[in-house]
Amino acid sequence: MTIPYAEQLPVRHPALAAADPELAALVGAEERLQAETLRLIPSENYVSPAVLEASGTVLQNKYSEGYPGRRYYEGQQNIDLVEALAVERAKAVFGVEHANVQPYSGSPANLAVHLAFAEPGDTVMGMALPMGGHLTHGWGVSVTGRWFRGVQYGVRRDTGLVDLDQVRELALRERPKVIFCGGTALPRTIDFAAFGEIAREAGAVLVADIAHIAGLVAGGAHPSPVPHVDVVSTTTHKTLRGPRGAMLMSRGEHAKALDKAVFPGLQGGPHNQTTAAIAVALREAGGPSFRDYAHAVVANARALAEELVVRGFDLVSGGTDNHLILIDLTANDVPGKIAAKALDRAGIVVNHNTVPYDTRKPFDPSGIRIGTPSLTSRGLGTAHMAQVADWIDRAVKAAGAGDEDTLRAVRAEVAELMAAFPAPGLPV
């Protein structure tokens, strides 16, 4: 196997390079790829060197089933303090009474919520996946839609906004045990207060899944769900800029049910190295510069959306309030997957995505989904967004025309700009 940039590895990861040159070379190639490309996937980011170090520590070696002070293994003198630190910081950053930092990722966190508040066969309600919801909000192919009865709401065709009339009507008719708000392709502010009213009327537990926007909430760039919902579920690796992991947060009254559902209900030993890295990320998220980061992410997304609209792109809901933009390419006559692959060849990494009321199939949809968390972590600002929009425009047109020369030219321009904005934790 030939792997590019293999020669750089011994310096950055000497032990790995000596023990497993093949794997080390792959890591090096990925570092190079993340450094040279413009990463626009809205659920991705660059963690800080400190988060990266914490997640590679010997905390990895320890089994800690249970919770601080109540473990099933001895030798927890340090681990208990690590987890307690992460929990305290989560409570402070999000203003919650209870935090569980053990869920392995966002999907198991949401399954734990089901386990805590519903029985198999009970009704749960969430946004439909093709409308921008998440699989784990009761969608059919997910265990949450197979073992529970998922009922699903969507967005209005005319506005692209969540249809709160439909949410109320469905909730009162179907009486779900749990209602999820939030999703993976929602470019607009979530009206947690309106969902709160509906959930109270319907007698449902309301869960805000803020996986995508947790960093914006932490930094004050999106309203907090905390006053309006029963449970907050979030990943830690998207806008929050932590390691791959998740948290469940709530008022004290739900603490026991959530903790029991995570362990022993669903998981075994927590990933202590991840807990440590979550603690570091939360310390960063609680600092003043993270507020600037969160607001810059939104400012960049708004600027990019405006520049795309100027170039004739059709954005779902017409624009964005957060970090995310959903582009409907129907009018460009380029399918989402073809556009995404062409952009990838041009050094711009996005994902293809369904748009609401998509007429194409989910594995070959009409849209692409982009976002600004990663480019903002590298220091790009609103002044760069016209350039980014221009590259997207050229690459999508080139995709339609089969023009590989333009894609290659854009790739070189992208690499040149990104070299001037080194990514945290990556080689220059």
Ligand X SMILES: *Cc1c(COP(=O)(O)O)cnc(C)c1O
By CB under 6 A, tell whether 209 contacts ligand X.
yes
Terminal-residue alpha carbon distance, the chain: 25
73 is catalytic: no
130 belongs to the binding site for ligand X (CB under 6 A): no
> Going by DSSP bridges, is the β-strand pair 205-209/178-181 parallel, antiparallel, or unpaired?
parallel
- One of 31, 83, 209, 393 is an active-site residue; which one? 209
Per the CB < 8 A criterion, the answer to whether 194 and 220 are in contact is no
Residue among 389, 211, 397, 241 at smallest CA distance from 315 = 389
> Annotated catalytic, 393?
no
Q: How far is the CB of 271 from ligand X (least distance, A)?
A: 12
Q: According to the binding rule CB under 6 A, does residue 106 interact with ligand X?
A: yes
- Sign for the CA dihedral angle at 189, 190, 194, 197 comes to negative
Q: Look up 406 and say whether it is catalytic.
A: no
**Considering beta carbons, is residue 188 or 394 the nearer one to ligand X?**
188
Q: For residue 143, which phi and psi values (nearest 5 degrees)?
A: -55, -30
- Interface residue with ligand X, options 114, 134, 177, 352 (CB under 6 A): 134
Alpha helices of 37-76 — where are they, by DSSP H?
49-54
353's CB contacts (< 8 A; 6+ apart) are: 185, 326, 336, 365, 367, 368, 369
Selected from 182, 225, 243, 373, the binder of ligand X by CB under 6 A is 182
Q: Is 405 annotated as catalytic? A: no
Q: How many CB atoms lie within 10 A of CB 400?
A: 16
Q: Which is nearer to ligand X, 368 or 414 (CB)?
A: 368
Q: Is 209 a catalytic residue?
A: yes
**Residue 64 touches ligand X, criterion: CB under 6 A:** no
Binders of ligand X among residues 184 to 203 (CB under 6 A) are 184
Using omega within 30 degrees of 0 as the cis cutoff, is the peptide bond preceding 264 cis? yes
Closest CB to ligand X: residue number: 106
Amino acid at position 28, single letter:
G
Distance CA(146)–CA(144), nearest Å, equals 6
Is residue 228 close enough to count as binding ligand X by CB under 6 A? no
| Contact flag: residue 236 with ligand X (CB under 6 A) | no
Selected binder of ligand X within 28, 145, 176, 183 (CB under 6 A): 183
Residue 235 is a binding residue for ligand X (CB under 6 A): yes
Task: For residue 302, indicate whether it is catalytic.
Answer: no
Stretch that binds ligand X, among 120-128, 147-155, 180-188, 373-381 (CB under 6 A): 180-188
Residue of 111, 113, 208, 211 interacting with ligand X (CB under 6 A): 211
**SS3 (DSSP) at 335:** coil
Axis-axis angle for helices 21-36, 404-419 (nearest 10): 90
**107 touching ligand X, by CB under 6 A:** yes
**Among all residues, which ones are annotated catalytic?**
63, 65, 209, 235, 238, 244
Q: Where do contacts with ligand X occur on this chain (CB under 6 A)? A: 43, 105-107, 110, 134, 136, 182-184, 209, 211-212, 235
